[in-house]
Structure formats: C-alpha cells, structure tokens
C-alpha cells in the first residue's frame, strides 16, 4: 500500500515507519508542525533527521492557523466556562485526523494515513473501528475516542500490537533520543502562564470554601484550578484537600477531602459513536487517560447527544470538560465517548 505517515521525529513514529517499510509498504513522511510555537524548529529538524535516516521524503505541513483556531474556539472558551479542556483529544478530532489527514491523503502517492499511536483501527474480523493497543500501559485509544468513525477506515496504526520497549528498539539509530517520550506539538510551554495571558480579564479572586461551608482561603481565579487538584491551593489544613467543585455564579472554589470526590454516576455529552450500541448496555469506562477502565452500565440518549454512566464502584474526580470513554464488554473496542458534563 501507499502510506502517508505522520513523522514527528520521535520514537513512536520512527518505529511505525520502520514497521511499514519492513512490511513492504511505500511510505511518504509528513510532519505536522506549528510554526508559531517556539519549539517548532526542533520538531521539524528532528523529523527531517529521522526521514533522512529512513530514506523517506518529508513534507512539512504547517498547522499554525489551525492551532490558533483551536485556542480561540475551544481552549479559551472552555476555560471561561470553568471547565478543564482536553486539547490533545480535540486536536486529534479537528486537526490531526481531519485537516492534516485530508492534506496527506490529497497526495497522489498516498492511499492510507498512518501514525505512531498505540491503538488499533481494525478488529479481529477486519472491521474498521477504534481498538485498544496491545501495550495497556501505552494504549492511546482514549485520546483518539473523539475522532470521527470514518477516519479509521483509511488509518493504519502500525504500533497496535507493539510494546513501548519494542518501539524503542525499532527506532534505534533513527532518532536522536530513543528513550524519550514522543510528544505532540503543544499549544503552550507553560499551562498556567497560558491561562493568565489569555484570560487576564476573567481571573477574579474569590473564596475557597470547605464542603462544610467554612471559608478557609482565597483562590486566584477559577480557571486556574481543576476538579481533583491537590497542589497549589495555598491553604493549610489538617487533611489533604482537593478541588471538589467550582461554583461559577458565586465565584467559589469548593474543596474537601478525598472521599468528597467520589461518585458513581457521570453524565457525558457531545457523544461520538464509534460502534453499534443499544440504548442501554454494559462495558468498561474511564474518565481520564491515566486510569484503569472500570465496570459500567450506560444509558445512551442519542437524541440529546448525552449518556449516563453508572459505575459499579465509585470513581474519583470526574472533571467537567474532560473526556469519558466507554469500551465494550471485553474492554477492547471503543464504543463511544463524550465530555463530562458540568454543574454547580
């Protein structure tokens, strides 16, 4: 097959390139760049080095305008709603597996799009969809769960059955830093500084209130905090405190102890269906990337683009704006995903 590969210059995409070439595919490399980011030059140069060592041609596709739109149309509005944005998820849906993928596939020498994600795009019977990677510690299906289903019909994930250790070995001699984590092009170097710069007029200090109603401190502006946050609260207490809620109308930051974060029911919206699901069912779900999937019962309200997830055991700190992903009964295929709903 003629494959267009997203080559970042990191370990994962280099390993994917070596696997594709080893399987006899014709490969052209494309680097997804952001010329407005201060580290962009390093990213492009590392991609050029990797492409040269692999014997591949490289096309640079600049996404600076698309990144700025992501900031203006998604990240900043989400922060202003006092929700926690998930830029990697939205970038994958709106830019990488849409705008960028289309440009790669416009090349007359390209039939399929490939990346170095640890995930699968084909099931055991060859059906297109989104599946978990074999390396459960590196599985990145969570970050791909908002990508439109049609994209996976023309996508290859060469690392679907590869471990990180195997990828490092495959990338040896191709990348300069084979043991480092491959990173997506990011929208900012310092997240808190980004918030202060872009929401300067919306950061209103206010009270930090314990769940029992006592005011115990002052916060610097609700967008600077996220549900479940422990560090950086600036209050002394006899127990570890976490952010439990952000009350927009009263500008209160509510804090409590670990047990105050627990709940069984999570409502999600903006559903992205990636497999056939009924109105009700059972499966596994996670409410953040770095979490083991938990047993769940779900009720889908498709007309409202909403679903209720009822976990078998309490989950901690569902943060409005973050993604919840639901897998099938075997915990292998992504059924659907949605953004955790907020509330006072």
Distance CA 231, CA 330 (A): 36
- 248 with 272, same domain: the answer is no
- Average pLDDT estimate for 106-130: 95
Residues 110-121 pLDDT 10s: 999 999 999 999
Q: What is the pLDDT of residue 185?
A: 41
Q: Is residue 191 part of a domain?
A: no
Distance CA 202, CA 208 (A): 17
Task: Show which of 234, 256, 278 is a domain's final residue.
Answer: 256
Q: Is residue 278 part of a domain?
A: yes
Distance CA 307, CA 339 (A): 10
Binning pLDDT at 50, 70 and 90, where does residue 137 land? Answer: very high
Task: Show which of 256, 284, 300 is a domain's final residue.
Answer: 256
- 232 with 314, same domain: the answer is no
Residues 207-255 pLDDT 10s: 999 999 999 999 999 999 999 999 999 998 989 999 999 999 999 999 9
Distance CA 282, CA 295 (A): 8
- 250 with 265, same domain: the answer is no
Residue 327 bridge partners (DSSP)? 284, 334
Tokens 């978990």 map to which residue?
132
- Please check the confidence at residue 344 and state whether its pLDDT lies above 90: no
Reference 344, options 241, 245, 265, 244; nearest CA is 245
Domain count, the chain: 3
Q: Are strands 323-327 and 206-210 parallel, antiparallel or unpaired?
A: unpaired
Residue ranges making up the domain that contains 71 = 2-171
- 296 with 228, same domain: the answer is no
Residue 91: active-site member = yes
- 7 with 114, same domain: the answer is yes
**pTM as predicted:** 0.94
Residue 114 bridge partners (DSSP)? 5, 156
Q: Is residue 182 part of a domain?
A: no
CB 255 within 8 A of CB 238: no
Task: Show which of 171, 195, 214 is a domain's final residue.
Answer: 171
> How many other β-carbons are positioned within 10 Å of the β-carbon of residue 77?
12
Average pLDDT taken over every residue of the chain:
93
Which residue among 186, 252, 263, 300 is the active-site one? 186
**Percentage of the chain surpassing pLDDT 90?**
85
Which residue among 88, 91, 252, 300 is the active-site one? 91
Encoded tokens for 34: 């952001």
Residues 8-38 pLDDT 10s: 989 999 999 999 999 999 999 999 888 888 7
Residue 88: active-site member = no
């Amino acid at each position: 097959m003629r494959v267009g590969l997203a080559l970042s210059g990191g370990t994962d995409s280099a390993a994917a390139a070596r696997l594709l070439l080893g399987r006899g595919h014709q490969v052209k490399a494309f680097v997804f760049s952001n010329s407005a980011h201060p580290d962009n030059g390093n990213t492009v140069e590392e991609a050029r080095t990797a492409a040269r060592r692999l014997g591949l041609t490289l096309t640079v596709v600049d996404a600076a305008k698309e990144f700025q739109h992501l900031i203006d149309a998604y990240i900043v509005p989400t922060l202003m709603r006092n929700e926690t944005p998930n830029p990697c998820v939205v970038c994958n849906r709106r830019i990488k597996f849409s705008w960028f993928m289309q440009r790669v596939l416009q090349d007359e020498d390209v039939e399929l799009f490939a990346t170095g994600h640890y995930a699968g795009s084909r099931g055991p019977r060859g059906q297109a969809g989104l599946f978990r990677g074999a390396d459960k510690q590196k599985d990145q299906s969570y970050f791909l769960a908002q990508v439109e289903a049609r994209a996976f019909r023309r996508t290859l994930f060469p690392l679907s059955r590869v471990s990180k250790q195997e990828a490092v070995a495959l990338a040896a001699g191709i990348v300069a830093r084979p043991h480092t984590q491959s990173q997506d092009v990011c929208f900012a170097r310092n997240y808190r500084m980004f918030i202060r710069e872009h929401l300067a007029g919306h950061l209103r200090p206010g009270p930090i209130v314990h769940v029992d109603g006592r005011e115990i401190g002052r916060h610097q502006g609700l967008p600077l905090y996220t549900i479940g946050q422990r560090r950086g609260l600036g209050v002394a207490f006899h127990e570890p405190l976490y952010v439990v809620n952000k009350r927009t109308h009263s500008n209160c930051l509510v804090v409590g102890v670990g047990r105050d974060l627990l709940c069984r029911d999570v409502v999600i919206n903006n559903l992205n269906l990636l497999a056939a699901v009924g109105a009700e069912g059972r499966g596994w779900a996670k409410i953040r990337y770095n979490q083991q999937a938990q047993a769940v019962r779900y009720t889908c309200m498709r007309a409202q683009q909403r679903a209720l997830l009822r976990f078998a055991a309490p989950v901690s700190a569902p943060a409005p704006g973050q993604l919840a992903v639901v897998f099938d009964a075997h915990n292998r295929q992504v059924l659907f995903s949605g953004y955790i709903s907020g509330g006072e």
